[in-house]
Amino acid sequence: MKYIDEDGSGDISFNEFQEKVKLSEMMPKQHKYTVSRFQFVQAMKSAHHWNHTREDLKIKDLFQKFDENGDGVLELKEFEALV
């Protein structure tokens, strides 16, 4: 706001806006900020996969922590300790 509102009035006049916002300079940079639907879906899919993998690792670590004898099975006393 301070950058555009040069006179400090708290309002942005058309002249202030026109002076600071140059569409001709923004257009070449637009591609940097544009995301296609495909890119968005791919990013969401990747984030979901990463979160799912992270949760699986947390569960596996928790299970292994309480599987005292390391046999891959929680015996009753191990499960009670977990709960």
* pLDDT, tens digit (0-9, with 9 covering 90-100), for 60-73: 999 999 999 999 99
The residue ranking higher by pLDDT, 1 or 11, is 11
Percent of the chain's residues with pLDDT above 90: 30
Residue in this structure with the two tokens 């879906």, named with its chain if needed: 41
Sort 65 into a burial class: Cβ within 10 Å, 0-12 / 13-18 / 19+.
exposed
Q: What is the pLDDT of residue 79?
A: 92
pTM for this model (two decimals)? 0.46
**pLDDT tens profile 23-59:** 666 656 556 667 778 888 888 998 889 888 999 999 9
Q: Taking the mean position of all CA atoms in its chain, how far away is CA 24?
A: 31
Q: Taking residues 18-27, report their average pLDDT.
A: 71
